């Protein structure tokens, strides 16, 4: 059992046992934090290893910012003689870390030779990495900085540049070096599938969600570093790598489930349709071959109850939980990650006149329960949940929205009312919003 | 089980305290103000249609947990006056409500007293502070937090009229040798964009103009793409205005259009000054009391390894950082502290591969 | 599996009519549970919806529910025989097979279909299924690289594409992949394109419905 298996580049850390596995070689990943089982190809054989945690740390795919010209990343050899023209932000704004690399190279080039001229073209300089000093030094060393607007800079072979700004026009000769355009490694798609993660829109392993900062993924124990995340985060690599290793060491010391409740699958009802497996945003369900049924991996579970609400065979339940009494009336269902927190800052009587319930996430809504709450034509249901991309359970609020839309559409088609179920979004700090929403709901204005 | 004092009840301090308490330690959380939350207490969520990663939502739960945890003793209106003792048996002297109290036998101390906003410092142009058409970003934050309605025509700025034009000026109190703060505060580009977006949502016909020097990344996420800002209907002008004057009931902002090389002016109903992060006024006192060093800007860093001294720094006391990285820094400090003196992991770090 | 979709609520209500006081909704625990159309959860949701509807109409009714493992085997239907007898009307959320099998066991009862049975398909995403086989009775997948020209080509052509596809999509519906492009690519990847040079005779549709409703026996088990 290893502490960390690195998929991609390995970080050396003497107090943790680590292994490096080529992402190309990965075949499968089962299990959960504290007990992942990885199978991968190694010298023509298939090997299986267990690990506490997984870190995906890949390189980016990069292409030249300007076709035909070299980029100024680490491996590029800077020519010893002749003028140099650094160009960043061509086509795409270069992330802060790339800014830094460019400035460092420009500074080194200027210091290295007093006979050459070094030019630096940019659209926006980033100083979030403490690059102010490098910039100052570079200027003092004689690097000439030029800000340009998009479209006002033209580069022709073989290193001839035309620059226009505010009526001034310039022509320069020199070796052109550009900032690379970074894009996701081609391995990420396969890795996402094997690790059961939802890639971001751009194709990076880490979804863009506030709960995942800095290096977390939806699956506990699986971390994303470097090129597995979007390039904006490159500058924080060192700090975030340290944070990740420290958290893994903490988990090694003491691994507890994230939620107190235990969820169990009735193996007589489960028909292995795999709906829960697919719906779970945290990869917390797996087939238990002995029982011939799905099983909830308690340490991996984040407690959203999406599995419970989506299981078509009603096979999953919370241990010890009693069937709730469905009381019709004016309901308010509050997501524990947003609405409940906001409500705690308001006086208790704010809920007077409502039947209020706490829910784990909008994805735990069940159609059958919503219909049961609507017995009387005066009954309505208000769901207060999180904004898109700030849902703790990733696509949870989207699933909830779909359920609400489906219910409203059906009710409307049967002339049972319009918009009797409302899903309003809220954030924990906005108790003022909550107060207003509840007031309008009470008065039927929503 | 260890006994730990956390000085500072903002994001960093509460995050550390909560992590330590969850791991079974006894924590005393000391806060100067009368409630926990620190600087961001009055800030509002910037989501209108979808989350734009201002990260404020992550804080409330932590603060609530700190307040309700049995393992955390929260002392508000507490000011640290003295430190005595040695690693493993520190003693802090606090002043609370006029009298002194001691907290003894501390294994470790975490210092997380945060930052000051530029507007908290007693500098700035006097004539502006009396004109209510010129406000600091933190004031705009407060009115956004307490917006009175949820709907299209919320008078979020509570001006009593529909403003036609709002301007932001970036980099006040940062990127400036004169203001003794040459560093970039990192957070202002991000929050001004997010606030501008909220304004556009509540006042759809509003003209929003942001005067900037450089545009910094606004956090981990790719949502904020400088090249797409035009689509949000926010105008970015690349220069720091030269003059602001009052003309009738509006403001006239004079600036240089660098593209055309000529002076132009903009009329606005409201001017928002983005403000950066500055070292807390207590930093100098902490450096002496806790044997720390101040960098050239006044932020703190440790002289000796924190695992040896048992005194850890967490959050923006070390330098400007946004909410998300403050939270992860707080967690990291807690993890390191819990490993009880073992060597810091990942000392050599390593640069990100490209 | 057999994939179906629940009928729209209005259609079900119209079908149920007014001549009843007690209704039994029977779900099926196999194919239609997996295709998220007629399992225990769907039965519960439909029952609550109907209660809501009839409640508003002021019609006093009772709705009972049960979900049996399969409706295509009599033993499971027999398990709930009493329940079926005890209700005026039965709504089955099984596929057409299940509904008819229930009818066979309860010839005197009205058993209504709550589902539109659609096709034999596979799950392509959560909540999405695609048709793969039409049950022609004579599988020719070996000759087409594992992609069926009968089921995957909109026109069931056996000797090459119609030529109307655009960017790999069928001219009938651009949501459908051109079956022949799939066949070609697959055989190409396998290096077996020459299989397509063998002329495929017109299909004998007798093994399909064109010989009438089919029956199959397995001599090892069948007693008759």
Query: Residue A439 pLDDT > 60, yes or no?
Result: yes
Partner-chain residue, chosen from A182, A214, A427, that has the shortest CB–CB distance to B56: A427
Query: Residue B156 pLDDT > 80, yes or no?
Result: no
Phi, psi of B172 (to 5 degrees): -80, 120
pLDDT, chain B, mean:
85
Within an 8 Å CB–CB cutoff, is residue A416 touching chain B? no
- A156 and A247 fall within a common domain: no
> Does C216 fall in a domain?
no
pLDDT of residue B347: 60
Report CB contact under 8 Å: A236, B325: yes
Report CB contact under 8 Å: A440, B150: yes
- A73 and A175 fall within a common domain: yes
- C21 and C105 fall within a common domain: yes
> Does A324 fall in a domain?
no
Q: What DSSP state is assigned to residue A196?
A: T
CB atoms near residue B174 (< 10 Å):
24
Q: How far is CA A249 from CA A95, A299, B167, B328, C145, in A?
A: 30, 16, 48, 15, 50
Within an 8 Å CB–CB cutoff, is residue A387 touching chain B? yes
> Does A31 fall in a domain?
yes
As for how many domains chain C has, the answer is 2
Query: Residue C202 pLDDT > 60, yes or no?
Result: yes
Domains of chain B: 3-114+280-347 (3.50.50.60), 117-277 (3.50.50.60)
Tokens of A210: 């506030």
Tokens of C214: 């089919």
> Does A323 fall in a domain?
no
pLDDT of residue B221: 62
- A44 and A147 fall within a common domain: no
CATH number for position A349 = 3.40.50
H runs (alpha helix) in B220-322 = 283-289, 306-309
- A144 and A205 fall within a common domain: no
pLDDT, chain A, mean:
91
Q: In the listed set A182, A214, A235, which residue is the last one of a domain according to the structure?
A: A182
**What does the pLDDT look like over C76-128, one tens digit per residue?**
999 999 999 999 999 999 999 999 999 999 999 999 999 999 999 999 999 99
Tokens of A197: 């993660």
- C127 and C161 fall within a common domain: no
Closest of C155, C135, C143 to residue C205, by C-alpha: C135
Report CB contact under 8 Å: A242, B60: no
- A188 and A53 fall within a common domain: yes
pLDDT band at A283 (very low <50, low <70, confident <90, very high): very high
- C184 and C106 fall within a common domain: no
Domain that residue C188 falls in: 153-199
Query: Residue A8 pLDDT > 80, yes or no?
Result: yes
Residues of A in contact with C10 (CB under 8 A): 413-414
pLDDT of residue B150: 46
Cβ contact B191:B197 at 8 Å: no
As for how many domains chain A has, the answer is 4
User: Which single residue is written with the structure tokens 């086989």?
Assistant: C133
Q: In the listed set C98, C114, C140, which residue is the last one of a domain according to the structure?
A: C140
pLDDT of residue C108: 93
Helix (H) or strand (E) holding A177: strand A175-178
Report CB contact under 8 Å: A237, B352: yes
Cβ contact B19:B335 at 8 Å: yes
Which residues of C fall below an 8 Å CB-CB distance to A? 8-10, 13, 29-30, 33-34, 36, 39-42, 44-45, 47-49, 51-53, 55-56, 123, 126
Nearest-neighbour CA in chain B from A31: distance (Å): 25
- Sheet with strand B207-211: strands edge to edge: B134-136, B270-275, B165-172, B207-211, B234-237
**What does the pLDDT look like over B284-314, one tens digit per residue?**
999 999 999 999 889 999 999 998 899 999 9
- C159 and C135 fall within a common domain: no
Q: In the listed set C106, C140, C174, which residue is the last one of a domain according to the structure?
A: C140
Distance CA B57, CA A391 (A): 10
Contacts of B286 (CB under 8 A, 6+ apart): B111, B113, B292, B300, B317
**What does the pLDDT look like over A23-57, one tens digit per residue?**
999 999 999 999 999 999 999 999 999 999 999 99
Q: A280 or B342: which carries more pLDDT confidence? A: A280
Report CB contact under 8 Å: B345, A202: no
Partner-chain residue, chosen from A312, A375, A416, that has the shortest CB–CB distance to C39: A312
- A136 and A34 fall within a common domain: no
Distance CA A325, CA A421 (A): 19
- A144 and A209 fall within a common domain: no
**Best residue in C14, C33, C43 to probe A by mutation, most A CBs within 10 Å?**
C33
Closest of B149, B136, B163 to residue B43, by C-alpha: B136
Share of chain C above pLDDT 70, in %: 100
Partner-chain residue, chosen from B216, B238, B261, that has the shortest CB–CB distance to A127: B216
> Does C107 fall in a domain?
yes
CB atoms near residue B175 (< 10 Å):
21
> Is A136 in a helix, a strand, or coil?
helix
Nearest-neighbour CA in chain A from B82: distance (Å): 31
pLDDT of residue A163: 85
> Does C72 fall in a domain?
yes
**What does the pLDDT look like over C39-62, one tens digit per residue?**
999 999 999 999 999 999 999 999
Apex CA A136: angle with CA A131 and CA A137, to 5°?
100
> Does C80 fall in a domain?
yes
Query: Residue B61 pLDDT > 60, yes or no?
Result: yes
How much is the average pLDDT of B271-285? 91
- A242 and A146 fall within a common domain: no
> Does C158 fall in a domain?
yes
> Does C211 fall in a domain?
no
Residues of A in contact with C42 (CB under 8 A): 312
Tokens of A72: 């100024």
Tokens of A282: 């945290």
Neighbouring-strand partners of residue A261: none
- C100 and C166 fall within a common domain: no
> Does C169 fall in a domain?
yes
- A170 and A194 fall within a common domain: no
- A342 and A437 fall within a common domain: yes
How much is the average pLDDT of B320-326? 89
Distance CA C139, CA C121 (A): 16
How much is the average pLDDT of A339-344? 92
Closest of B177, B160, B167 to residue B137, by C-alpha: B167
pLDDT band at A97 (very low <50, low <70, confident <90, very high): confident
Closest of A215, A210, A95 to residue B194, by C-alpha: A210
Radius of gyration of chain B (CA): 22
- DSSP string spanning B40-67? GGG-----SSS-----THHHHHHHHHHH
Report CB contact under 8 Å: A413, C13: no
Residues of B in contact with A236 (CB under 8 A): 220, 325
pLDDT of residue B22: 92
Q: What share of chain B is helix, strand, coil (3-state, %, to 5)?
A: 25, 30, 45
Query: Residue B132 pLDDT > 70, yes or no?
Result: yes
Chains that touch C (3 or more CB pairs under 8 A): A
How much is the average pLDDT of B265-270? 91
Chains that touch A (3 or more CB pairs under 8 A): B, C
Distance CA A287, CA A295 (A): 6
Residues of B in contact with A429 (CB under 8 A): 43-45, 56-57, 59-60, 145
Residues of A in contact with B184 (CB under 8 A): 127-128, 132
- Which of A166-180, A403-417, C188-202 has the least mean pLDDT? A166-180
Share of chain B above pLDDT 90, in %: 43
Tokens of B157: 């700025």
- Range from A401-415, B166-180, B209-223 that averages highest in pLDDT: A401-415
Within an 8 Å CB–CB cutoff, is residue A366 touching chain B? no
pLDDT band at A93 (very low <50, low <70, confident <90, very high): confident
- A77 and A147 fall within a common domain: yes
Query: Residue B7 pLDDT > 90, yes or no?
Result: yes
- C68 and C122 fall within a common domain: yes
**What does the pLDDT look like over B306-315, one tens digit per residue?**
988 999 999 9
CATH number for position C68 = 3.40.50
Evaluate whether chains C and A are touching (3 or more beta carbon pairs less than 8 Å apart). yes
> Is B73 in a helix, a strand, or coil?
strand
CATH number for position A241 = 3.50.50.60
C51: left (phi > 0), else alpha (psi -120 to 50), else beta?
Answer: alpha
Between residues 11 and 40 of chain A, which touch chain B (CB distance below 8 Å)?
11-13, 15-16
pLDDT of residue B152: 47
pLDDT band at B249 (very low <50, low <70, confident <90, very high): confident
Distance CA B132, CA B119 (A): 14
> Is A231 in a helix, a strand, or coil?
helix
**What does the pLDDT look like over A370-394, one tens digit per residue?**
999 998 777 899 999 999 888 999 9
Looking at this predicted complex, what is its ipTM? 0.90
Domain that residue A162 falls in: 62-182
- C188 and C160 fall within a common domain: yes
């Amino acid at each position: 059992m290893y502490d960390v298996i690195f998929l991609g580049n390995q970080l050396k850390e003497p107090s943790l046992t680590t292994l490096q596995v080529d992402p190309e070689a990965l075949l499968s990943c089962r299990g959960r934090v504290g007990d992942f089982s990885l199978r991968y190809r190694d010298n023509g054989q298939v090997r299986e290893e267990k690990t506490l945690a997984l870190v995906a740390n890949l390189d980016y795919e990069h292409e030249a910012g300007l076709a035909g010209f070299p980029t100024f990343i680490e491996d590029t050899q800077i020519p010893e003689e002749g003028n140099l023209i650094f160009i960043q932000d061509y086509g795409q704004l270069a992330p802060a870390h790339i800014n830094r690399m460019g400035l460092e190279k420009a500074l080194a080039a200027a210091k290295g030779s007093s006979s050459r001229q070094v030019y630096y073209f940019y659209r926006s300089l980033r100083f979030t990495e403490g690059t102010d000093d490098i910039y100052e030094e570079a200027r003092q060393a004689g690097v000439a900085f030029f800000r340009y607007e998009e479209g006002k800079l033209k580069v022709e072979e073989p290193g001839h540049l035309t620059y226009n700004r505010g009526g001034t026009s310039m022509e320069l000769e020199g070796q052109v070096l550009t900032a690379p355009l970074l894009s996701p490694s081609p391995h990420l798609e396969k890795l996402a599938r094997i690790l059961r993660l939802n890639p971001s829109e751009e194709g990076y392993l880490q979804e863009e969600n506030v709960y995942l900062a800095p290096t977390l993924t939806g699956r506990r124990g699986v971390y994303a570093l470097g090129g597995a995340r979007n390039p904006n985060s490159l500058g924080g690599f060192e700090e975030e790598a340290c944070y990740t290793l420290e958290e893994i060491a903490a988990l090694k010391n003491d691994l507890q489930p994230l939620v107190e409740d235990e969820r169990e699958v009735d193996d007589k009802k489960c028909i292995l349709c795999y709906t829960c497996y697919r719906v779970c945003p945290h990869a917390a369900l797996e087939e238990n071959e002995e029982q011939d049924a799905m099983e909830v991996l308690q340490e991996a579970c984040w407690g959203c109850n999406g599995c419970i609400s989506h299981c078509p065979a009603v096979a999953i339940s919370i241990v010890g939980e009693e069937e709730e009494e469905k009381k019709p009336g004016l309901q308010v269902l509050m997501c524990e990650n947003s609405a409940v927190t906001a409500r705690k800052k308001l006086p208790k009587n704010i809920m007077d006149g409502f039947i209020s319930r706490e829910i784990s996430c909008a994805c735990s809504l069940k159609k059958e329960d919503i219909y049961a709450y609507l017995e009387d034509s005066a009954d309505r249901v208000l769901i207060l949940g999180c904004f898109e991309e700030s849902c703790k359970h990733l696509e949870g609020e989207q699933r909830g929205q779909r359920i609400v839309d489906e219910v409203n559409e059906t009710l409307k088609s049967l002339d049972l009312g319009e918009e009797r179920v409302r899903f309003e979004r809220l954030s924990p700090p906005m108790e003022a919003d909550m107060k207003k929403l509840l007031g309008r709901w009470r008065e039927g204005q929503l | 089980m260890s006994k730990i004092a956390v000085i500072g009840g903002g994001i960093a301090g509460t995050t550390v305290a909560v992590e330590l308490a969850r791991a079974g330690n006894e924590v005393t959380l000391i806060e100067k103000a009368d409630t926990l939350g620190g600087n961001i207490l009055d800030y509002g969520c910037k989501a209108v249609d979808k989350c734009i990663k201002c990260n404020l939502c992550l804080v409330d739960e932590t603060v609530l947990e700190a307040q309700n945890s049995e393992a955390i003793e929260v002392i508000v209106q507490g000011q640290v006056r003295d430190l005595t003792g040695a690693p493993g048996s520190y003693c802090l002297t606090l002043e609370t409500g006029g009298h002194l109290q001691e907290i003894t036998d501390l294994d470790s101390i975490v210092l997380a007293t945060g930052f000051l906003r530029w507007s908290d410092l007693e500098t700035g142009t006097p004539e502006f502070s009396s004109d209510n058409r010129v406000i600091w970003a933190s004031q705009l934050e407060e009115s956004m937090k307490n917006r009175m309605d949820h709907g299209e025509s919320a008078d979020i700025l509570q001006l009593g009229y529909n403003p036609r034009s709002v301007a932001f000026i970036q980099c006040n109190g940062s990127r400036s040798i004169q203001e003794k703060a040459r560093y970039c505060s990192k957070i202002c580009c991000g929050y001004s964009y997010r606030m501008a977006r909220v304004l556009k949502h509540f006042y759809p016909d509003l003209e929003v103009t942001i005067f900037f020097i450089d545009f910094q990344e606004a956090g981990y996420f790719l949502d904020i793409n400088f090249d797409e800002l035009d689509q949000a209907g926010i105008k970015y002008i690349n220069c720091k205005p030269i003059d602001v004057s009052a003309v009738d009931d509006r403001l006239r902002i004079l600036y240089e259009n660098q593209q055309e090389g000529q002076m132009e002016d903009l009329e606005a109903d409201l001017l928002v000054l983005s403000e950066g992060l500055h070292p807390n006024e207590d930093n100098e006192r902490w450096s002496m009391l806790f044997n720390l060093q101040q960098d050239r800007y006044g932020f703190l860093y440790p002289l000796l390894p924190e695992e040896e001294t048992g005194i850890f720094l967490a959050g923006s006391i070390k330098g400007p950082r946004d909410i998300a990285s403050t939270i992860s820094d707080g967690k990291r400090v807690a993890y390191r502290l819990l490993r009880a003196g073992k060597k810091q992991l990942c000392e050599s770090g390593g640069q990100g591969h490209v | 599996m057999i994939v179906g979709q629940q009928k729209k609520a209005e259609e079900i209500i119209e079908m149920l009519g007014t001549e009843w006081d007690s209704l039994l909704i029977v779900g099926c625990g196999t194919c239609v549970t997996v295709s998220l159309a007629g399992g225990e959860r769907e039965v519960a949701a439909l029952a609550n919806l109907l209660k809501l509807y009839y409640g508003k109409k002021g019609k006093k009714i009772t709705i009972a529910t049960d979900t049996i493992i399969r409706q295509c085997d009599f033993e499971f239907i027999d398990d709930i025989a009493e329940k079926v007898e005890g209700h005026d009307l039965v709504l089955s959320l099984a596929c057409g097979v299940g509904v008819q099998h229930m009818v066979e066991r309860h010839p005197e009862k009205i058993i209504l279909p709550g589902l539109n049975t659609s096709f034999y398909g596979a799950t392509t995403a959560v909540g999405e299924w695609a048709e793969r086989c039409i049950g022609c009775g004579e599988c020719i997948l070996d000759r087409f690289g594992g992609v069926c020209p009968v089921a995957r080509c909109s026109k069931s052509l056996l000797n090459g594409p119609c030529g109307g596809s655009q960017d790999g999509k069928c001219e009938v519906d651009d949501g459908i992949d051109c079956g022949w492009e799939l066949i070609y690519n697959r055989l190409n990847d396998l290096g077996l394109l020459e299989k397509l040079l063998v002329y495929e005779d017109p299909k004998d549709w007798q093994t399909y419905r064109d010989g009438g409703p089919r029956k199959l026996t397995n001599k090892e088990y069948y007693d008759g």
